[in-house]
Structure 1
Amino acid sequence: MRVAVIGAGVVGVTTAYFLAQNGHQVSVIEQRGNVSEEASLGHAGLLGAAHLTPFAAPGMPKQILSHFFKTDGAINLRPSVNVTHWRWLRSWLRECSLEGLLANKEKMQRLGRYSQQLLSELSHSHNLDFQQRSGILQLFRNVKEQKKIIAGLALLSDADLPFQQLDTAACHQLEPALNKDTSLAGGLYLPQDGNGNCVLFTKQLKLVAQQLGVEFEFLTKCEQIIPNKNGATLHLKKAEQTGQQQFDAVVLASGASSTPFLKNIGINLRIAQFQSYSNTANIKNLDDSPRLSIIDESEQIAITRMDKRIRIAGTLHLGKRKNTADERAWQKLRNVGTDWFPDAANYHTGQNWSGHHLMLSDSTPVLGRSAVKNIFVNCAHAEYGWAMATGSGKILADLISGKSPEIDLDGLTVLR
């Protein structure tokens, strides 16, 4: 089959790779000039299954409401006049129960485990090196935050995902560079999770995919998808040139840019666009830098090592924000970095980044067939696209190839 994958982020490129492995003729359509130049570019780079947690959780609405009028909150859900925002919020509030938390966390970890397995196999097969580091240390600034994760520990045990609950002293022993002056109640160590350079991985996989025959059409925007009895016709624009191409199947993997197409293909789930931020600074003192990936549970912010750089990421705003909000978000990231690793880097000279992604109210992606024949979706991974990309890509490739996916898709398809 001739298949078009719209979007060359990590999700789109992994999908194209697995499609090519299944023998399809694949074209990747990307409006940017290279792979991973949108949401894949500046996120924290966390990998693994154990750390995956839905945004909706008991106590989260109260926590966000307490920061509603603050300008420096790491999470801002102030809705605009956009009706989509209000609908998403109502649906999200319904997910903020213990039952919803456990159900959604299981779905995310199911896909995350599968992705972790495939990523390991793929890296070994093609000798990929993308600055991988093992170990995530989840930090709790107070006992209240520490107690919130207790319900999810049983899921980790059931899934055979190892973890260690640590007191304050054990956290500092495991990660000696942590600032001893910052309040810390304890932590959760996830040895099988970690992080990696998503952009580097995607560029390496792009070369492998090209060797399998995948064609990449950069600086090309898909303006319209017109289904027909033989598949779909794409209306494409490159520079000032417009044209049409016919494909047997189309995969929508274009992240936040997917929004205009979703309703047209019968995706009426509660999806909203979010803006997230990161700051990436060069390390100035190796001894004062983190060895592990860090998640500040109270602030919902991650700190990761990428070779000789430190990235702080995770600030989340509903909808698009003005420039003044951007600067407050980056300052929040710099403050958190200084809290935990004050002498590791000069965060004020770091590179600021902001990007957009889609999130459903249950935080799980939507995968598989749409209501329109031969049009498939692989989007709405929230901030976890890197951790779920290989599993999502393999699932889509198998579905298009008429194969049964290797994991249960319950709760991950349009019919959820």
Structure 2
Amino acid sequence: MKVIVMGAGVIGVSTAWYLAEQGHEVEVIDRQPSVGLETSFANAGQVSPGYSTPWAAPGLPLKTLGWMLQKHSPLAIRPRVDPAMMRWVGQLLANCTSHAYDINKGRMLRIAEYSRDCLDDLRQKLDLAYDGSQSGLIQLFRTQKQIDHAAHDVRLLEESGIPHELLDVASVLAHEPGLMGARDKLAGGLRLPGDQAGDAYLFTVRLAEAALAKGVTFRFSTRIEALEATADSIMSIRTSKGRMTADAYVMALGSYSPRLLKPIELNLPVYPVKGYSLTVPMTDETHAPRSTVNDETYKVAITRLGDRIRIGGTAELAGYNLKLSPDRRETLELSFSELYGGGDLSQGQYWTGLRPCTPDGTPVVGPAGRYGNLWLNTGHGTLGWTMACGSGKLLADRLSGRRTDIPSLDLSLDRYAA
């Protein structure tokens, strides 16, 4: 079967690899000149199944009000007349119940754990090098209140059988001695030994090379203009380089997926949530992370990537605006300076990208409603790198009519119709 994958980020390339491995003729289309140049380019670098948590949680509305009063808030909302944003926020708030949170977190943990295992298999099979680390993740708590709020997540981790351990300050420092200078700022931590780190862009490049060797065709600098459809199937894709046809089509364009689906009357509840990162050269290993930590106070991730440090985080609702905000950079620098400091911030490469977020936190992986030959693999939010390999494998299995390794029916778009 010939399959066109729309999007050459980590999700699209992972999907293309697994489809090709199953014997399909695969073509990948992207507007960029190479792979991984949008949201996959400089994300936080974490492969964090244990940290897979929906934003929609009990207490979020009250937290949001408090954040709006903070200078270094983890969330910023830029006022705008945007019906899509208002609908998405409404759906997000509807998921802020204990019942919805447990369901959504369970789904996210399921696919994230599976994806981590798929990544392990790929890394060994293809000998992929991407500045990876398999040393776990520590969620850092600065207050007892943060520790108390983590109790519910700990219960869900226990129920899902995910290894974890609560750490006192001494234990945090044993795992991350670079935090010694911030000892008086710490209250404890939650360690997730099964989590990993790595450069998602490097991984995407390496996997694309392997996919190319397996026969996948990449068409770069090609803008997708529209999907041309009948009542129940896609006939072709109109691009800046002419029409392209296939037997099946996979939508993996992240935040831009809804824009192409809306004209064919397919409502995908994905909205761009802007994130930022700063990549700095490591200058002092004794004041740098060994692996990866999450600063719960500022919602900032600090990750070791070889001889570099990636500082990523914050969330901003600003539509498709890619302007770099000086305020967000200040927050990233503050978190890193207070905790570590072993990197040259003046040489930092500042970046922003649009995370494709669903209201319930779970990606949309599966068939696209009434269009029998259109498939969706998008909406991974902050966890695209974490869920990429598992999502690609699930999508390829379902498209090929194979039995999936984990339950996957509740990951499709149908859950929103219900």
TM-score between both structures, scaled by the size of structure 2: 0.94
Q: Following the alignment from structure 1 to structure 2, what is the Cα–Cα distance between the partners of residues 170 and 44?
A: 24
Q: Secondary structure of the equivalent of 2:410?
A: coil
- Spell out structure 1 runs of 4+ moving beyond 6 A: 321-325
| 322 and 107 in structure 1: CA distance in 2 versus 1, 3 angstrom threshold | closer
Determine the structure 2 residue equivalent to 1:157.
Answer: 158
Q: Following the alignment from structure 2 to structure 1, what is the Cα–Cα distance between the partners of residues 326 and 290?
A: 28
Q: Secondary structure of the equivalent of 1:177?
A: helix
How do 1:6-405 and structure 2 match up within 5 A? 6-133=6-133, 134-178=135-179, 179-180=181-182, 183-228=185-230, 231-237=234-240, 242-320=241-319, 326-342=325-341, 344-371=342-369, 372-405=371-404
How far the C-alpha of 1:400 sits from its partner, in A, is: 1.5
How far the C-alpha of 1:353 sits from its partner, in A, is: 0.2
Q: Secondary structure of the equivalent of 2:381?
A: coil
| 182 and 324 in structure 1: CA distance in 2 versus 1, 3 angstrom threshold | farther
Q: Following the alignment from structure 1 to structure 2, what is the Cα–Cα distance between the partners of residues 398 and 324?
A: 38
Once the two structures are overlaid, the 10-residue window that deviates more, 384-393 or 68-77, is 68-77
Q: Secondary structure of the equivalent of 1:199?
A: helix
Unaligned runs of 5+ in 1: none
Does the aligned pair in 1 maintain the 2:233–2:374 contact within 8 Å?
no
Determine the structure 2 residue equivalent to 1:411.
Answer: 410
The C-alpha deviation readout for 1:360-384, integer Å capped at 9, x for no partner, is 1111111111121201110010010
One-letter amino acid matched to 1:256: S
* CA RMSD across the alignment: 1.8
| 322 and 385 in structure 1: CA distance in 2 versus 1, 3 angstrom threshold | closer
Q: Following the alignment from structure 1 to structure 2, what is the Cα–Cα distance between the partners of residues 321 and 387?
A: 23
How far the C-alpha of 1:348 sits from its partner, in A, is: 2.9
Q: Secondary structure of the equivalent of 1:384?
A: helix
Q: Secondary structure of the equivalent of 2:372?
A: coil
Q: Following the alignment from structure 2 to structure 1, what is the Cα–Cα distance between the partners of residues 163 and 194?
A: 7
Q: Following the alignment from structure 1 to structure 2, what is the Cα–Cα distance between the partners of residues 220 and 292?
A: 37
Once the two structures are overlaid, the 10-residue window that deviates more, 63-72 or 363-372, is 63-72
Q: Following the alignment from structure 1 to structure 2, what is the Cα–Cα distance between the partners of residues 386 and 181?
A: 31
Instruction: Verify: 1:4 aligned to 2:4, yes or no.
Output: yes
Q: Secondary structure of the equivalent of 2:389?
A: helix
Does the aligned pair in 2 maintain the 1:64–1:76 contact within 8 Å?
no
The C-alpha deviation readout for 1:172-224, integer Å capped at 9, x for no partner, is 22211113355211100111102111111111111111111100001011111
| 398 and 181 in structure 1: CA distance in 2 versus 1, 3 angstrom threshold | closer
| 321 and 68 in structure 1: CA distance in 2 versus 1, 3 angstrom threshold | farther
One-letter amino acid matched to 1:97: T
| 23 and 161 in structure 1: CA distance in 2 versus 1, 3 angstrom threshold | same
Does the aligned pair in 1 maintain the 2:277–2:313 contact within 8 Å?
yes
Q: Secondary structure of the equivalent of 2:249?
A: strand
Q: Following the alignment from structure 1 to structure 2, what is the Cα–Cα distance between the partners of residues 264 and 323?
A: 24
Q: Following the alignment from structure 1 to structure 2, what is the Cα–Cα distance between the partners of residues 55 and 257?
A: 21
Q: Following the alignment from structure 1 to structure 2, what is the Cα–Cα distance between the partners of residues 22 and 210?
A: 14
Q: Secondary structure of the equivalent of 1:192?
A: coil
Unaligned runs of 5+ in 2: none
Q: Following the alignment from structure 2 to structure 1, what is the Cα–Cα distance between the partners of residues 77 and 186?
A: 27
Q: Following the alignment from structure 2 to structure 1, what is the Cα–Cα distance between the partners of residues 28 and 103?
A: 34
The C-alpha deviation readout for 1:93-141, integer Å capped at 9, x for no partner, is 1212222222111100100111111111111111112111121010111
Once the two structures are overlaid, the 10-residue window that deviates more, 267-276 or 16-25, is 267-276
One-letter amino acid matched to 2:334: N
Once the two structures are overlaid, the 10-residue window that deviates more, 104-113 or 74-83, is 74-83
| 20 and 123 in structure 1: CA distance in 2 versus 1, 3 angstrom threshold | same
One-letter amino acid matched to 1:210: L
How far the C-alpha of 1:37 sits from its partner, in A, is: 0.3
| 261 and 324 in structure 1: CA distance in 2 versus 1, 3 angstrom threshold | closer
How far the C-alpha of 1:227 sits from its partner, in A, is: 2.5
The C-alpha deviation readout for 1:143-183, integer Å capped at 9, x for no partner, is 11111121122222232211110112221222111133552
Q: Following the alignment from structure 2 to structure 1, what is the Cα–Cα distance between the partners of residues 119 and 266?
A: 29
One-letter amino acid matched to 1:128: L
Does the aligned pair in 2 maintain the 1:166–1:189 contact within 8 Å?
yes
Q: Following the alignment from structure 1 to structure 2, what is the Cα–Cα distance between the partners of residues 383 and 409?
A: 20
More helix, by proportion:
2
Once the two structures are overlaid, the 10-residue window that deviates more, 253-262 or 323-332, is 323-332
Q: Following the alignment from structure 2 to structure 1, what is the Cα–Cα distance between the partners of residues 189 and 2?
A: 49
